Structure 1
Amino acid sequence: MTTPFDRLPAVPALTVTSTDVVDGGDFAPAQYSGLFGVPGGEDRSPQLQWTGAPETAKSFVVSVYDPEAPTPSGFWHWMVVDIPAGTSELPSGITELPGNAWTVKNDARAAQFIGSAPPAGAVDHYAISVQALDIASVTELGIDAEATPAFVSFNILSHVVARGVITAIGRQ
């Protein structure tokens, strides 16, 4: 399975795992979107754990992106930035982020996880990524709370020192 990151410059790999979704497996009902009207959806972020960060990592960025959403640009469901370097896990449904981490507004312009909500009959593949950065905060790049996930992704590209991606499937 290819990911949206495959066409970006290669960096060392992080190992990403989750107790909520197996790489290549379906999202659980909790990771579907109640806000977007999916029955049983809870908009609960998945548990994530990562290993293999290089010593140069000063922070992490976690994101969930659906490149197959019915838009020309896909759909960003979640992005958390400035996760401290000593962190290696986010629990399911996280509400209190570690250190100075903060949530970038997603494509629904909400600073929270928005679960899977593909159109009826569709099967979408969600890239769940953890990227290690050589900077402690994206604010060093002039990024603030009004930035979009795409803008953050563009600006951090030269600061990514490792990346791990798992893919989740959403279907209706």
Structure 2
Amino acid sequence: MKTTLLVALLAATSFTSSAMTLTSQDIQEGSRMANTFAYNGFGCTGDNLSPQLSWNDAPEGTKSFAITAFDPDAPTGSGWWHWVALDVPASTHSVKRGASGDIKGAKEMGNDYGATGFGGACPPKGHGMHRYQFTVWALPTETLGLPEKPSNALIGYMLNSSALEKATLTATFVTE
């Protein structure tokens, strides 16, 4: 009897909690991104389009999302921010390919190329494979309350310190 009750309780609880997930029709975990998502400049020739992303199972209390793309392998000592989109409405659960600059209600910030919006993959020639971490952050507020023109380091700090949950999809790229 005790074993049956324990099994029933375990089964009930295993279906009640779900982690936020991030998927894409364009990029896959651990796989090389197409040149469609590579930067057009800095020695790279790509289409510079942001990939399609979809996310599910945001935690209760989510009031907005943020989308980031970060290369931790960039030879800078601090990585490279390819995309920072803040204040994405809580009703949004996907963005289409090439959505950068067209996410209703979102505020796109500067990337480390010095432009606003998405800047595609472009590791230095001969530097090998780089990882590109696309992350969707579930946030408890509609805005982060950042100062005018914050650094990406400050944005990263605020996201990490306030996120209810996050989901990451890591793709790769190497400049040939």
1:157 aligns with 2:168: no
Counterpart selection for 1:90 from 87, 95, 106: 95
Considering fraction of residues, name the structure with more helix: 2
Does the 8 A contact of 2:85 with 2:109 survive in 1? yes
Aligned to 1:153, the other structure's residue is in SS state: helix
Mapping for residues 1-172 of structure 1, pairs under 5 Å: 13-39=19-45, 41-94=46-99, 95-99=101-105, 101-121=106-126, 122-138=128-144, 141-144=145-148, 146-172=149-175
Alpha carbons 1:106, 1:148 under 8 Å: kept: no
Per-residue CA deviations over 1:122-141 (Å, capped at 9, x if unaligned) read 10011110010000112xx2
The aligned counterpart of 2:8 is: none
Query: What's the secondary structure of 2:164's corresponding residue?
Result: strand
How big is the alpha-carbon RMSD for the aligned residues of Structure 1 and Structure 2?
1.4
The share of aligned pairs that are identical, in percent, is 35
For the residue of structure 2 that corresponds to 1:155, the secondary structure is: helix
- Greater share of strand residues, 1 or 2? 1
Task: Please state whether the residue corresponding to 1:26 is helix, strand or coil.
Answer: coil
Q: Distance in 2 between matches of 1:23 and 1:98?
A: 27
Return 5+ residue gaps in structure 1 as ranges.
Answer: 1-11
**Which TM-score applies when normalising by structure 1?**
0.86
Deviation at 1:162, TM superposition (A): 1.1
| TM-score, scaled relative to structure 2 | 0.84
Q: Gaps (5+ residues) in structure 2?
A: 1-17
User: Which of the pair has more CA radius of gyration?
Assistant: 2
| Aligned partners of 1:67 and 1:73 also within 8 Å | yes
2:117 and 2:139 map into 1 onto residues whose CA distance is 22
Q: Aligned residues, how many? A: 156
